[in-house]
Amino acid sequence: MQVHPGFELEYERRHNPIWPQLARTLSEHGVSNYSIFLHPQTRQLFGYAEIASEEQWAAIAETEVCREWWKYMAELMPSHADGSPVSAPLREVFHLA
């Protein structure tokens, strides 16, 4: 994902604190230890979340609070017509357990 130029601080502000109902939804869908990192020069975002299952993670996108969050954030970042943020999957190249 990425933040539009000049919206980096607003993006961070809107996450601190995150909406309680969104935090609750994430937790109820098996998400823990969730972080988002910002690369200052490219404004790229990298999200890291530990999840219980891919199915539960995908189901978050169908919740009302997630859809409202997407609308709330759409002006700050490239988004699809449905409001979801434009993102690209990353391939894991190393993991140490």
What CATH number does residue 48 fall under?
Answer: 3.30.70.100
CB atoms within 10 A of CB 60: 19
Question: What is the rounded CA–CA span in Å between residue 82 and residue 21?
Answer: 21
Catalytic residue among 4, 15, 39, 80: 15
Q: Is residue 1 part of a domain?
A: no
Q: Which domain holds residue 22?
A: 8-76
15 is catalytic: yes
Q: Is residue 90 part of a domain?
A: no
The number of domains in the chain is 1
Predicted local distance difference test score (pLDDT) of residue 57: 97
Sequence-distant (≥ 6) Cβ neighbours of residue 30 within 8 angstroms: 51, 52, 53, 56, 57
Q: Is residue 40 part of a domain?
A: yes
Q: Is residue 93 part of a domain?
A: no
Q: Is residue 14 part of a domain?
A: yes
Integer-rounded Cα Rg, in Å, for the chain is: 14
Give per-10-residue mean pLDDT for the chain (97 aa).
98 98 98 97 97 97 98 98 94 94
